[in-house]
Chain A
Amino acid sequence: GAVVSQHPSWVICKSGTSVKIECRSLDFQATTMFWYRQFPKQSLMLMATSNEGSKATYEQGVEKDKFLINHASLTLSTLTVTSAHPEDSSFYICSVDGDQETQYFGPGTRLLVL
């Protein structure tokens, strides 16, 4: 498998500010990573597919200018929530596309926008 870390594990910010979340693949070179958000008591919703060295592919309904994804290396993808608002408060989880087309997930980042 792949070991995936996320930083920070939780963050509180003021409305209108931007927040960057890092997703690192610690032992696997990942050309593809995925970003999800999860609301309380709900399933995971895929936001975008992050491809190393190229633009991310966003799911329908996800604002690409609001959720900026950068995948500059085989071990790091970042999600920046720009001009965050309270409705952006959620649990954000990344995953790595590992061996045998299996996704391995990070521990998640809890975002609270005040």
Chain B
Amino acid sequence: AQSVTQLGSHVSVSEGALVLLRCNYSSSVPPYLFWYVQYPNQGLQLLLKYTSAATLVKGINGFEAEFKKSETSFHLTKPSAHMSDAAEYFCAVSDPGANSKLTFGKGITLSVRP
């Protein structure tokens, strides 16, 4: 069985500060990993994904994440936060070849202070 742990429910940063959202996973097979962002009352938008190619993955809006197998982590970072980054962020894992079913973390709310 797969699982995702996103510690904490809320992260607050100042505009221009580093954003770091943590994600740890558990999987019995080499996983695919995803970060999605959700703005209020909207669906999920794919930020980036790891599918066993480069371990450092660059996504949209200046976000990137690094797959670290030894730490079973896939933390999301952005060097400089924007007010528009305030949203809910979900990390998810899937088992490649197993019908793409996703297991989501509980999500983290990112607030950006002016």
Residues of A participating in the B interface, judged by any CB pair closer than 8 Å: 1, 4, 6, 32, 34, 42-44, 46, 49, 91, 93, 95, 97, 100-108, 110
Contact = CB atoms under 8 A, between A and B. Distances in A.
A39 B101 CA distance: 20
A106 B43 contact: yes
Contacts of A44: 44, 90, 104
Given A105-B44, A106-B43, 8 more contacts: A4-B43, A32-B99, A93-B44, A101-B96, A103-B34, A107-B42, A107-B43, A108-B43
B87 interface: no
B103 to A, nearest CB: 9
Contacts of A6: 43
A32 B99 CA distance: 8
Contact of B42 (A1, A43, A95, A108): A108
22 contacts: A4-B43, A32-B99, A34-B101, A42-B106, A42-B107, A44-B90, A46-B101, A46-B102, A49-B101, A91-B41, A100-B49, A101-B32, A101-B94, A102-B34, A102-B51, A102-B100, A103-B102, A105-B44, A107-B43, A108-B41, A108-B43, A110-B41
Nearest to A91: B41
Contacts of B100: 32, 97, 101-103
B51 A100 contact: yes
A104 B46 contact: yes
A91 B41 CA distance: 8
Contact of A1 (B43, B46, B104): B46
A93 B43 contact: yes
Contacts of A34: 101-102
Nearest to B90: A43
Given A32-B99, A44-B90, A44-B104, A101 B51 contact: yes
A95 B45 CA distance: 11
Contacts of B43: 4, 6, 93, 105-108
Contacts of B105: 43
Interface in B16-60: 32, 34, 36, 41-46, 49, 51
